[in-house]
Amino acid sequence: MSKKSTKSTSKAKAMAKSKVRTSVKSPAKSAIKMGSAFAGFPRELLLRLHSLMVKSRVLEERLIKIYKAGEGYFWIGGPGEEAFGVALGLLVNKGQGLEHDWLHLHYRCTPTMVALGMPMIDAVRLMMNRATDPSTGGRNFAGHYCFPKWNVAPVTSPIEVQYPLACGTAHAQKRAGHKSISIVTGGDAGTAEADFATCLIWSSRKGQELPVLITVQNNGFGISTPYEGQHGETEIADRARAFNIRARVIDGNDPIETYLALKEEMDYIRKTGKPSFIEAKVSRLYGHSSADGANRKTELVDPVLTFEKKLIDAGLLTKVEAEKIWDLYEKEGVDAQLLARSEPAPAPESVWDHVFVNNENADWRKF
């Protein structure tokens, strides 16, 4: 059971305070209205955040089980990034075309996709490499989503290439005169790639700034390389500041702080047409991927359980209601696995579908 997988860890440990330093700079923390525990959020929004965070966790744990049962080849995903990803997904101006936001996500974006409305079955189909997978027809890794109907650009396995691509769609949005923005996510280690610097440079040229929300989910690790020892800068956000990009560091394990920060920065970008940068400190709860075991790390802050406890302690949710939510999604995940099991693998002849030669994207003159 998903609930058991997550909850079997010591709650005390799960609630342990993050060792990761968090700070908020320009705009000052006081700009975030954190007066009460829930910053004046309506109960409905709090429960929606919680429910989607649980859904994403249950789904990721289902995908890990599918891998461990030998029904999938490789798992990578976003357990531990639910607070950031769900808040982001809820704030997106969702749709297709330049008047809507563009999303250039990386492979830990399941929480964002769940918040956008992706049904569990579509993540399961990708995980189990079924021909019915809407993202890739069963031909890519878990978490490598592609949803043109929501401007979700294909997630790439080469890390960080999404950063300059976000400048491309932002440029097109700006040229078309829309208030839409381009949003990019990625990991801390990947910021060592030149693509990240390219994004900072192209989004911040004086007088030609681009409406990009540049984000980094800092979980403190590359695959197995700790953050410490890899960065001369104090915060990754400092690199954005060097380009006069408004930048802040947030506790990405806190859905309320994250939601408020994202909203404020997205509003700023829509208003000014200029870029903004958020570094979110998050947990990597199941390690890097199935390549390092995909086992639960108990010493890290669990954003889902922490938020759930907060809601229960405040009387906004009962333990029984919470159990029901976990059970509901567990059933959806199991049903999805059973359905995907009955669906076909991609046919050999489909291997040439959607590649460039002689296909729908072959002629650049069309674009």
List residues near ligand TPP by CB under 6 A.
108, 157-159, 187-190, 219, 221-223, 288
Q: How far is the CB of 229 from ligand TPP (least distance, A)?
A: 13
Residue closer to ligand TPP (CB basis): 50 or 108: 108
Distance CA 269, CA 274 (A): 5
Does residue 221 sit in helix, strand or coil?
Answer: strand
Residue 57 Cβ, how far from ligand TPP at the closest point, in Å?
Answer: 16
Can you tell me the distance from the alpha carbon of 28 to that of 26, in angstroms, rounded to the nearest whole number? 5
Minimal distance in Å, beta carbon 237 to ligand TPP? 15
Smallest gap from residue 17 Cβ to ligand TPP (A)? 21
Evaluate whether 251 touches 18 at the Cβ level (below 8 Å).
yes
Is 56 in contact with 78 (CB distance < 8 Å)? yes
Q: How far is CA 201 from each of CA 103, 197, 235, 249, rounded to the nearest angstrom?
A: 19, 6, 18, 20
305 contacts 15 by C-beta, under 8 angstroms: yes
Burial (CB count <10 Å: 0-12, 13-18, 19+), residue 101: buried
Comparing CB distances to ligand TPP, the nearer of 72 and 80 is 80
Instruction: Pick between residue 154 and residue 222 the one whose CB is nearest to ligand TPP.
Output: 222
The CB-of-157 to ligand TPP minimum distance in angstroms stands at 5
Measured from each CB, the residue nearest to ligand TPP is 187
CA atoms within 13 A on the CB side of 142: 29
Residue 72 tokens read as 């999938």
Q: Report DSSP letters for 1-46, one per residue.
A: -HHHHHHTS-HHHHTPPP-S----TTTTGGGS--SSTTTT--HHHH
| Residue 289 C-beta: closest distance to ligand TPP, Å | 8
Which CB, 147 or 163, lies closer to ligand TPP? 163
Of the pair 77, 211, the CB lying nearest ligand TPP is at 77
CA distances from 57 to 85, 88, 179, 232 (A): 11, 16, 32, 34
Shortest spacing between CB 188 and ligand TPP, in angstroms: 4
Task: Name the nearest CA neighbour of 213 among 177, 264, 175.
Answer: 264
> Between helices 120-127 and 43-68, what is the axis angle to 10°?
20
| Minimum distance from residue 125 beta carbon to ligand TPP (Å) | 23
Nearer to ligand TPP, 223 or 242 (CB): 223
Which C-beta is closer to ligand TPP: that of 81 or that of 264? 81
Question: Which CB, 22 or 156, lies closer to ligand TPP?
Answer: 156
